[in-house]
Structure 1
Amino acid sequence: MTTDTTVGETPDEQLTPLGGTDRPEVESGTIPEPLLSSVIEDVADGDLTVDDGLVTQSLDEILLAMIALADDETHGTGLMEELSRLFDADLSPGTVYPRLHDLEAEGQLRMHELVQTKQYSIDDAAAAESKIEDAMYQHLAIGLFLHASLDGV
């Protein structure tokens, strides 16, 4: 796995995305069931606290996933509230809105102007799915590496 160069000008934007798309098959049962169940429960209950920097690093993919799963409330304020509820992430509008605008400019989101707000929906499902899948795989690989290293600590 390789890392690409840092991007962005502000600390919120300075990310070091992981590169590479070669994915070995992940064997069934690789993730210990108690660990997986615990994480799933924490996410579902909104009891997961994730470092804001980690959320910011994957914000594009998280926003795409949240919008794809949402029935409504896909405006920026609703998405920021959901980020706070799901991950206890306190991200500023100056972090979230530019990312929504960038995803729209890239053709992955469609923006609908309403009277006092803008709502977003997925415009390119295949691109959104690929982006989310790449991020998921990279985070899973890091998580499995970190989990395996616990025995050595």
Structure 2
Amino acid sequence: MTEDELRHVPTGDAGHASADERLTPLVGGRDTETSSDRSSRDGVPETLLSSVGETLADGDAAIDEGLVTQSLDEILLALIASSTDQTHGTELMDELERCFDAQLSPGTVYPRLHELDSEGLLEMHELVQTKQYSISDDPAARDRIERAVYQHLAIGMFLHASLDDA
């Protein structure tokens, strides 16, 4: 992903004295969003999006570790795409814990990294005592992340709508 396809968003305290900003991938990007992209998301209540965004920015979201594991491939792609330096397995597991409070084992994370490498989405760079990962197929990685976004959004909208019926 290029720097133009990223935006800065506050993520709360991440070990710094003040709130930091992370580069966060924008699927489609703000500047490249077309009216058809916007219209496909018009059904999402702005209050829901705002509420979720505030909860994530405050770091108050407790995300089920099982959900993180289910979307681990896409989360790893997004973490690697948005990283400016450390993308080795240990650092990625630290980021998963920091972002989602998910303490996933190396036996869960490393096989996924190797699978993404064998699929051609990641490129592994062997260093002296570690392996670094980078995105090798930007369009395919973006497509995979975008599909996951819409699937999760559809499930979230269904669940949100069910609250009105209950």
Q: In which range does the TM-score fall when normalised by the shorter chain? A: 0.7 to 0.9
Contact 1:47 1:86 in 2 (8 A): no
Which one-letter code corresponds to 2:122 in the other structure? L
Aligned partner (choices 84, 91, 113) of residue 97 of structure 2: 84
Shift of 1:28: 4.5
Shift of 1:139: 0.5
Alignment: residue pair count: 130
Q: 1:46 to 1:97 in 2, by over 3 A?
A: farther
Matched, 1:50 2:63: yes
Where in structure 1 are there 5+ consecutive unaligned residues? 1-23
SS of the residue aligned with 1:47?
coil
Q: Which residue of 1 aligns with 2:48?
A: 35
Q: Which residue of 2 aligns with 1:72?
A: 85
Which one-letter code corresponds to 1:55 in the other structure? V
Aligned partner (choices 141, 145, 148) of residue 158 of structure 2: 145
- Work out the CA distance in 2 between the residues paired with 1:71 and 1:62: 16
Where in structure 2 are there 5+ consecutive unaligned residues? 1-36
TM-score norm. by structure 2 comes to 0.72
- Percent of aligned positions with the same letter in both sequences? 68
SS of the residue aligned with 2:125?
strand
For the aligned residue pairs, the C-alpha RMSD in angstroms reads 1.9
Matched, 1:136 2:160: no
